[in-house]
Chain A
Amino acid sequence: MITLTNLEKIYRTKEIETVALENVNLTVNKGEFLSIMGPSGCGKSTLLNIIGLLDSPTSGSVEIAGTNTVNMNDKQLATFRNQKLGFVFQSFHLINSLNVLDNVELPLLYRKVSAKERRAAAEAVLEKVGLSHRMRHFPTQLSGGQCQRVAIARAIVGNPAIILADEPTGNLDSKMGAEVMELLHKLNKEDGRTIVMVTHNDEQAKQTSRTVRFFDGRQVM
């Protein structure tokens, strides 16, 4: 599903050159739930951003669903992200001036989907994550766990095959974190979605199908 070959990411300024990722070779199979672990600054999020086409590698290739994404232009990247990838962030990244329903509809705005269909799809996924009673609420009126569930609903509303989650429970207490993890496992098992998750939590990583560890930009196991 995802194949990274000889991936390298170097940040360059006038004075300094920082190697964020070095010779990363990684394959994620379809339907797999992969967790990525490692200390802060080891390149986990950079890797996730590159897989999510939010950042470009310095060298190497990124193949997702059989498509080499390295030479795609901005429009192609945007379309690819919109159709194949769903994102869940640690700090939710909900738009506070939009209610839950409108936030969830967001990815569908960039597809040729009618307002009626958008609404129906958003309502369906909110039902799925157990937030149908909070559709008209604004993010500031929800708990952290609820916000993350809204973010997950937004990630799956466009029915992407891959979900990229960057420390999805990082801002949540253990109970809410467990609820979110349960939801992600459900999406993995029941819907067969491929999930790549960055986490610091060993317990959560153990529950996934595979864990890869990074240290100083290198994959160590």
Chain B
Amino acid sequence: MLRMIFIQLWNERKGNVLIFLELLVVSVFLWYMVDTLYVNYKEYERPLGFDISHVYHVRLATVPQSSVDYDTTAIHSHYGGGDFLTLYDRLAHNPSVESVCYTSNNHFHYRGSNSFATFKNDSLARQGYLRHVDPAYFRVFRVKTAHGESWEKLEQALRDNQIVVTGTVAETFFGDAGKAERKEIWITDQGRTDSMAYRIGAVSEPQRYADFSSYDYAYYKPVGTEEAFRNSSAGVADVLNLFIRVKPAADNSRFADDFTREMSQQMRLGNIYLKEVIPMTYYRNEFLRSWVDNIRMYASCILFFLLNVFLGIIGTFWFRTQQRSSEIGLRMAMGASRRNIFRHLFTEGFVLLGIAFVPAAIIFANLAYMEVTTQTEMQLSIAARILWGMGLTLVMIGLMVVIGMGFPAFRAMRMQPADTLHDE
């Protein structure tokens, strides 16, 4: 039967060329889309290297001198750093709060605001990030060491005034996280022309910037000593970012509002006040919006292609079935049951798809070879990537073939052979 279907399709190749081309072109495009989504999904699936669940950004601000609320008698008007640290302590003592940390200048997770650095050795240079944090950062954001241990070792490294590099830096420059510890690394910070040698105190797990990003090069440096802060102006509240990790039992959808209301009195000190409390998930959603839009666009394209296949197939097979009504009647006269007819038409559709899919696979393999497909630094198995892409594409087009052919095939099945043969 299959051989006969092949023969018939080949002999009717002029009539089948359009549907063949449609299946071929759509298969390639669909595969490209599916592959892109697959790569994105694999990126998304990897550990981020930090955890923002139950983490909030506590935004402080300073009352401007021009404001009527500006307190000229405030004790720490000129030593705002001291006020900041007092507020830090108040947050830490709140029963809902599990841990507190602050970072300097840039609020880097999901914010697109960064300080850059170049990591170097004799033959290698890599662009990455510099992150000023206080030791508790690793505790608040649940950052583990490269060997999966909890954050204490990372905290200790910063307390010892050493730096913490991410696993990606350690692996690239030292081959292994274990080998990087206690070693020196040359780094040129943004805005500087000279490189400095830093001693690596600990290596964190590899970290990504956001859910769809690759693992990046980054190092963590102590934000500054307590003494240095005490003498800073009140404006320090504008350049430091406070983060709290809330106890899971205390966290809920109203937490930010309730906490702001509850703490606004306690968090007013000198000319520093609590501006707002924002969940990190808010930043995440905002940052990922363009990615999600992109994914939506790909998904829409996939739907469009599928609709295209569906309409093409239903139109073509409708026409074919009508044209071949006498052939269907003849087959029934020769001994085909209605089920045989239904199966015959479906097999024909799938054989056509199979024939179109082989060149589609070759085209796609060439696109992949020419690196036209979505690129990633992930070590994805080529076989798995191709199998997933091919499998999902086949399943989706196959589904459209089934739906698109279902109605014409069902109609063909219901034909009265006497009527179709009589028409001739």
Chain A residues near B (Cβ < 8 Å): 45-46, 49, 52, 54-55, 74-75, 77-79, 81-83, 87, 89, 91, 93, 95, 97-98, 102, 105-107, 109-111, 115, 138, 154, 158
Contact = CB atoms under 8 A, between A and B. Distances in A.
- 6 tightest Cβ-Cβ pairs between the two chains A and B: A82-B335, A78-B337, A110-B335, A97-B11, A55-B418, A49-B418
Contacts of A109: 1, 4, 334, 336
Contacts, number: 80
Contacts of A55: 416-418
A97 B4 CA distance: 10
B22 to A, nearest CB: 20
A75 B337 contact: yes
A82 B330 CA distance: 11
B416 A107 contact: no
26 contacts: A46-B418, A49-B422, A54-B329, A54-B416, A54-B421, A74-B338, A75-B339, A78-B336, A79-B337, A81-B333, A82-B334, A89-B421, A89-B424, A93-B326, A93-B330, A95-B327, A95-B330, A98-B4, A98-B7, A102-B7, A106-B330, A107-B335, A109-B1, A110-B335, A110-B336, A138-B11
B368 interface: no
A138 B12 CA distance: 12
Nearest to A92: B424
Interface of B: 1, 3-4, 7-8, 11-12, 326-327, 329-340, 416-418, 421-422, 424
A89 B333 CA distance: 11
Nearest to A107: B334
A126 to B, nearest CB: 16
Contacts of A95: 8, 327, 330
B335 A83 contact: yes
Contacts of B416: 54-55
A74 B326 CA distance: 18
Contacts of B332: 54, 78, 81
Contacts of A87: 333-334
A23 to B, nearest CB: 21
A109 to B, nearest CB: 6
Nearest to B417: A54
Given A89-B424, A95-B327, A52 B333 contact: yes
Contacts of B334: 81-82, 87, 106-107, 109-110, 154
Contacts of B327: 95
B1 to A, nearest CB: 6
A98 B335 contact: no
Contacts of A97: 7-8, 11-12
Nearest to A87: B333
Contact of A93 (B11, B12, B424): B424
A73 to B, nearest CB: 9
Q: From A45, A54, A55, A89, name the one whose CB has the most chain B CB atoms within 10 angstroms.
A: A54
B234 to A, nearest CB: 88
A40 B375 CA distance: 72
A110 B4 CA distance: 12
A91 B423 CA distance: 10
Given A89-B421, A107-B334, A111-B335, A78 B7 contact: no
